[in-house]
Structure 1
Amino acid sequence: MVPDPVKQRLTSAWSTLIRQPLVLVAVFSGSSLMLLFIGWQAADQRDLSHAGSRPSLLELLDQVSNEKGRYIEEDPSSTPPGPPRARSWTSPLARQCSGIDPNVRSRLEALERNRSAWRKDLPIDPTNYGERHKRDAFGQALDVTPRLVVMHETVYSITSAINTFLTPHPRDEDQVSYHTLIGLDGKVVDLVDPINRAYGAGYSSFLGEWAITNKRFKGSVNNFALHVSLETPENGANNASRHSGYTDAQYDALALVLSGWINSFNLAPAAITTHRHVDIGGERSDPRSFDWSALQVRLASLGDLCVS
């Protein structure tokens, strides 16, 4: 039951609205717009809740920003810090000069001859990559030769990753990129020239080596690393330890990408590692469910594992 004083006020307000039709129209219009806005918001939230492997670009940028924020030095030192603890790395790739599968070799050679059908260049926004620094933030000389390959996964779709790299990021802590992306269908997108530095790993090192190129940030392998990322299958758009794995087409394309880098930069197969291994913070696990044996067969067929 509505109290009498409230009922009287409502009756008075309604009488006023009846005598001023323009006000009445405005009230109803505003109410309709408010209902539409609430409905749109609800629908948008429903879409996001079912997005699964299709997050918004803003969500991706928030994740990048939060991750990079953990690597910022609150009180930058004026002298170089000591090197990070060296974690040993035993490559799962073994030396192999025999037992080559001729069918695999023929397939990969044919694929390489037709590379224009599955590989393309896509320039990204220049804020998301840079030149390799010849000196660190403290003036010490650096070797800028690419001598490490770090493998990643996108977690979400390749389209989401590309959209992120195409978006300008003027703030250093938001910048992120890989040299190359490999889709589930085996299509390859080259984003950053290997001569340049991609921002694929934050707080990281390999065998005790890193480079501090900005005193505001902790060291990383980016100045001497090449970064390649595999598109994650749809059931891997989460924080689970595993997913269904990568496709045969991805392993074929990955082998050809790595073979090109091995021969261009005289890289040893042992220099191919994972984001999980180089991450000092212990928070990265990519690429999850990676099959090293699948890569072994392909690189061996290309003759890239017959080295001492």
Structure 2
Amino acid sequence: MSFGQGGPEWGSGSTPDWAALAEQAERHRSRRRRWLMAGGGALATAAVAGIVALAVVNEGGGDGASDKPSSSLPAPEDLPSSSDAQPTFKDEPPPPPPPRDFIADAEHDKAPLSAATLFPAKRITVNGHSYKLASTSTSKNCAQAAHAGLGPVLTGNDCDTLYRATFTSNGLAVTVGIAAFEDAKTAAKVKKQYRPNLVALPGNGVPDFCRTVTCRTTANSLGRYAYFTIAGRTNGKESGPSDTQAQKVALDGSNYAYARVLQRGRAQSSEAAKEPAS
């Protein structure tokens, strides 16, 4: 009896070759395992590919992919027409320039200018201190209202006009001088070049003061205006560094000049705001 090709042969009356039969059976089992592993890997790959495909389909969430239009999108007839999308503008004029722009130069500073417009009140209160207006003066030749130090500075920078006013309080007096120039740059230059000092203005009960004695002075600028003060005792006594009262009066006069010049800008800005409406 014999097996097929490659199988063991039994001779007549002989016993089977058990070692050969065992080796042949082992070869069949090894071949079967290799085919099963290869098939299993292919199945695993197919399963992973199926999971990825499912994830791609369901990436947008919801109940799954659909070829139906989304219910959240507006219908064509609900979309705005081109006429509905036109921009709208409020019919409002632009705001006027800030007050400082109006006092920056002579071109924009067109409000009436005089001692009366700069010093309109007969009584003023500055920092809680009350003062009475004694007298005012206007000098087209600015150097005539200034001493030797300040006069050339005013003339050299083409001072247009120097307006002065004297205020009194409890034996003290302060003369405030406001000088007009072409522009803010020139006024700032005058402040930097300042030399003493403004001539004190007497009158209406105020004697000639701060002529030959030490007094307190200030100098500053705002817009196209430079402003100065000189303050001291009306009894003729000097007001040196230790005279803190005269110093406060000089500073009050300077603060008042600043407020009056700034008010010019504010008034012109307010008028400009009314012009479009009228």
Give the alignment's TM-score, normalised by structure 1: 0.23
Structure whose residues are more often strand by fraction: 2
Q: Which has the larger radius of gyration?
A: 2
Higher helix share: 1
Q: Given the two structures, how large is their TM-score scaled by the length of structure 2?
A: 0.25
Q: For CA contacts below 8 A with separation 6 or more, give which structure has more relative contact order.
A: 1
